[in-house]
Homo-oligomer: A and B are copies of this chain.
Amino acid sequence: MPDSPPSLDPVQLGAYFDLVEVTSLLRHAVEQQLRETGDLSYVQFQLLARLGDSPTGSHRMTDLADGVVYSRSGLTYQVGLLEKEGLAVRAPSPDDERSITVTITDAGRELLAKVLPGHVEVVSGLLFEPLSRDDAKTLAGLLAPVRDHMRSTPPRSAAPRRRKGGA
């Protein structure tokens, strides 16, 4: 028996292409806005946003890595940049001596606040302008299960092998 139908019908193919194209254009626009407004890369913005969202303003390195799909070293690099700019601070975790807790600073929050309106404007104007509220809801309803599926997918051919060695 075939492992899984290795084909995409025209509709799927179109959806896939449009997804790639839309995201690419959106990402481009957003990155430009972030760079111009706050001298932030998208990843740095994501990290700051994630920290800012946390009730404590903190996350462990590992949690951040899990969220942003990065190699640990890449995360170390990016957090290092944030720290150098005074936007975040690293400190040893109290409970687990191995862990590092990253915390957003006031300056980080300020920058986030400075950057957010433009960010929202770009996303709103570029992504949601041609979509009704219902459309947005539909889109969210479609993407959520996809996201869950992707997050819980076994290492088919070449997965992160972050946790629990695969091969």
**CA separation between A32 and B161, bound complex, in Å?**
13
Complex partner residue of A4 from B18, B125, B150, B151, CB under 8 angstroms: B125
Q: Are A143 and B4 in contact (CB under 8 A)?
A: no
**CA separation between A152 and B163, bound complex, in Å?**
44
B-binding segment of A84-92, A101-109, A113-121 = A113-121
Q: Are B124 and A25 in contact (CB under 8 A)?
A: no
As a 0/1 sequence over residues 26 to 54 of chain A, the CB contacts with chain B under 8 angstroms (1 = contact) are 11110011001000000000000000000
Interface residues of A in 1-33 (CB under 8 A from B): 4-9, 11-12, 14-16, 18-29, 32-33
**CA separation between A149 and B125, bound complex, in Å?**
10
**CA separation between A26 and B153, bound complex, in Å?**
11
Q: Are B127 and A146 in contact (CB under 8 A)?
A: yes
Complex partner residue of A158 from B27, B36, B151, CB under 8 angstroms: B36
Q: Are A6 and B157 in contact (CB under 8 A)?
A: no
Q: Are B124 and A145 in contact (CB under 8 A)?
A: no
Q: Are A4 and B145 in contact (CB under 8 A)?
A: no
**A142 beta carbon closer than 8 Å to chain B:** yes
19 contacts between A and B (CB under 8 A): A4-B121, A8-B123, A8-B124, A11-B136, A12-B128, A12-B133, A18-B144, A19-B127, A21-B147, A21-B150, A25-B69, A25-B150, A25-B151, A26-B150, A29-B158, A125-B153, A126-B149, A130-B145, A131-B145
B-binding residues in A (CB < 8 A): 4-9, 11-12, 14-16, 18-29, 32-33, 36, 69, 117-118, 120-131, 133, 135-140, 142-151, 153, 156-158
